[in-house]
Chain A
């Protein structure tokens, strides 16, 4: 996934996830990598009349018990660690994306 605000990918992924849940699907995991790791940053502070991307994810995750994984290698390169990530986001390895590819019926990539 590409970075929030700079690119629509985060919004598309969020809207898609929400719609999939609404149709009764189980979301095994959302894996954030590349600049997408910035979605987890609780320090983001957008203007009041704009959506708050991290809070949107967090609310959706809490309501539906979704596993949000932030790619550790991508996070480290961008100064994202567990002091910065919001509740509900876990830093994890790229292997968790491979697991998704193995376990999920469908995998959708939102890229720039």
Chain B
């Protein structure tokens, strides 16, 4: 299962809601404003560190570039749109 999160975790409950129902070991992709969840050193960085140990977490490179973000936390994998497609090949999706 691939959970798609497109809202900033600082603005929306989407990410927390997703975690409530997402089975451990499933995949999460941050895209659009969701990518801000992958920033290092934020107020939710500790929380995110535990999330990365329970889930496979990805972030969409094109949306990072668009927003001038070039640093992400350890444990989160950058993918481009081709990688996004690859994740969808492997998983059915739920959009939060």
Contact = CB atoms under 8 A, between A and B. Distances in A.
B50 interface: no
Interface residues of B, number: 18
Interface string B39-73: 00000000000000000000000110000000000
Residue of B33, B85, B89 with highest tally of chain A CB at under 10 A: B85
Interface residues of A, number: 17
Interface in B70-94: 80-82, 84-86, 88-89, 92-93
Contacts of A22: 82
Contacts of B89: 25, 106
Interface string A3-30: 0000011001001101110110100000
B12 to A, nearest CB: 10
Interface string B1-39: 000101000000000000000000000000111000000
A10 to B, nearest CB: 11
Contact of A12 (B32, B80, B82, B92): B32
B81 A109 contact: no
Given A15-B62, A111-B95, A23 B32 contact: no
Given A108-B95, A110-B95, A111-B95, A12 B85 contact: no
Interface of B: 4, 6, 31-33, 62-63, 80-82, 84-86, 88-89, 92-93, 95
28 contacts: A8-B6, A8-B32, A8-B33, A8-B63, A12-B31, A12-B32, A15-B81, A16-B81, A16-B85, A19-B80, A19-B81, A19-B84, A20-B85, A20-B88, A23-B85, A25-B89, A106-B88, A106-B89, A106-B92, A107-B92, A108-B4, A108-B88, A108-B95, A109-B93, A109-B95, A110-B6, A110-B95, A111-B6
| 10 interchain residue pairs of minimum CB distance | A19-B81, A109-B95, A8-B32, A20-B85, A19-B85, A15-B81, A19-B82, A108-B93, A23-B85, A111-B95
